[in-house]
Amino acid sequence: MVHIEVDEARCDGFGFCEQAAPEVFGLDDDGVVTVLLPEIPAELAARTEAATRACPVAALRIRS
């Protein structure tokens, strides 16, 4: 399993992560990314990595 580190100060709320992996990422009422799962199961790992790469401000980091 992998974990996601979020730099909330960098997040600009574009939502690309949510589009790529809606099971994993959402946006809160302030338009800041929130991680919906405390741990990412293996079957979502590839999409989570794609979502991380999609972030234009590099606010997401994967930690295994």
21 binds ligand SF4 (CB under 6 A): no
Closer to ligand SF4 by CB, 15 or 45: give it.
15
> Judged by CB under 6 A, does residue 5 bind ligand SF4?
no
Dist CA 58 CA 43 (whole Å): 23
* 16 sits near ligand SF4 (criterion: CB under 6 A): yes
Q: Does 40 bind ligand SF4 (CB under 6 A)?
A: no
Query: Does residue number 39 form part of the binding site for ligand SF4 (CB under 6 A)?
Result: no
Strand partners, 34: 26
**β-strands 25-27, 33-35 pairing:** antiparallel
Can you tell me the distance from the alpha carbon of 20 to that of 64, in angstroms, rounded to the nearest whole number? Answer: 20
